[in-house]
Structure 1
């Protein structure tokens, strides 16, 4: 088994692996899975991913067949986020996920990442167990909607969070997590929670101008009204909400 950067010719195989993996690991209906595949791994989306220097798409190949892949991105200064790691259910249990994870870490480190974050829906028991087995710890949750249903997405970090900074806004105390970031067009957005435990998302904090930016449109975009720093969706957007 070998791991390499994905190429344009791998796109049909990536879609096939993603479909089988989603069917085996998530409680998503057939329509939701079909919509997700079309949006996340359609021709245009994969072309954008392959041409983006800040994103990494790796494939695991066995006997000239793609049996798994990972998608990751730089999500802020010195932070890399593993967005997806899929292994064909027929090839699970052979260490492919671990090898993909380590190869992904190496690629992200080569791009400047010093810490790795991960995301997985809470109802994916194997995915959550995988992150825990790698020494990751839960660092907050967000609600996402897919095909009209609400799901909980759990964020994992490799080391214990350094703490969430309390700030005041409109007479309310909220907590800025400096270890949880999203990539912005100018600077990072830090995730802001309503409580110190990180159980409820409040919004985002713009690192460029030190202001709160808690407005998100239906496509998952965030834009700071003060300086124009903007975050594009990397995972969930209206095409499959």
Structure 2
């Protein structure tokens, strides 16, 4: 496997990798995926990023084992205020299971540090449920959320940092921070913040939602709910599509929301380590 900088004329193949990866694994509509792909990875966007000394683009070249296609993964990072940020990472679904995701992540973070980054953070779209588990395996912890605007879509990214870092990653303005709070409310309908905990109410009972314990769904993720703030006694599941706690599980451990019909989406058999962010 070779990790290298892409050529401008390889933008079309990069878009194919991005599109197929997001279609396979992201909780986004086809229109949202097309918007992100066209906005972030069009020919002119790739060329502009390649010409920016603060932006890092790398591809994984794994050998032409599928119809002559050699590029099997892509990562994008950026240097800002002493921080290196990994903000996009994708692997072609046809090439998962080869450790490409880990190779790209490690190559990108090493390169960012070589270019002067004192700390490294990773941003993962909220809709990319399995990506959060992947990042945490590298010892990074959820350190806040960030709202981004892509192709007229407002999306939320989780920011992950090293727990031992003695500085904070580049932050947003107060106005943007307020927007992030609005975004969080939209992502978790029918919830409230209670003493720093995300909570919902079921027949007058306060239930605590674990943001970091998610199960994929056809419309939106399900999150484990607890009876207590310490997350010791499980209550059930919360549907982030409609805000309902009326979620059932059948004998095949498949979740379904009784209010909106959101149901558990089967995950890939490959570990996320070998796929994408």
Instruction: Sort the TM-score into its range (normalised by shorter chain).
Output: 0.5 to 0.7
Structure 1 distance, partners of 2:40, 2:149, is: 15
Contact 2:119 2:165 in 1 (8 A): no
Check conservation: 2:35, 2:150, Cα contact below 8 A: no
Q: How many Å apart are 1:91 and its aligned residue?
A: 1.5
Match of 1:114 among 118, 121, 124: 118
Which of 155, 162, 172 is the equivalent residue of 1:158? 162
Which of 82, 85, 89 is matched with 2:89 structurally? 85
Q: Note the residue ranges of structure 2 that are not aligned, 5 or more in a row.
A: 65-69, 180-277
Distance 2:109 2:89 in 1: 12
Aligned partner of 1:75 among 76, 80, 104: 80
| Compared CA separation, residues 193 and 55, structure 1 to 2 (3 A) | same
CA contact (8 A) 1:31 1:147 kept: no
| 1:179 match: secondary structure | coil
Q: Matches of 2:106 and 2:88 in 1, distance apart? A: 14
Q: Is residue 137 from structure 1 mapped to residue 126 from structure 2 by the alignment?
A: no
Q: Determine the C-alpha separation between the residues in 1 that align with 2:149 and 2:5.
A: 31
Q: Distance in 2 between matches of 1:108 and 1:46?
A: 18
Moved more, 44-53 or 21-30: 21-30
C-alpha deviation, 1:149, in angstroms: 6.4
Residue in 2 that maps onto 1:13: 13
The runs of 5 or more residues in structure 1 that have no matched partner are 163-177, 182-189, 195-199, 204-241
Q: Label 1:92 to 1:193 Cα distance change in 2 as closer, same or farther (>3 A).
A: farther
- Give the equivalent residue in structure 2 for 1:201: 177
Pairwise CA RMSD: 2.3
Q: Residues 62 and 136 from structure 1, CA distance in 2 versus in 1: closer, same or farther, beyond 3 angstroms? A: same
2:222 aligned residue: none
How many matched pairs?
174
TM-score, scaled relative to structure 1: 0.66
2:150, 2:39 → 1: CA distance?
12
Q: Residues of 2 paired with 1:105 and 1:93: CA distance?
A: 21
- Give 1 or 2 for the bigger CA radius of gyration: 2
**8 Å CA contact retained: 1:139, 1:161:** no
What is the alpha-carbon distance in structure 2 between the residues aligned to residue 110 and residue 32 of structure 1?
34
| C-alpha distance in structure 2 between counterparts of 1:76 and 1:132, whole Å | 23
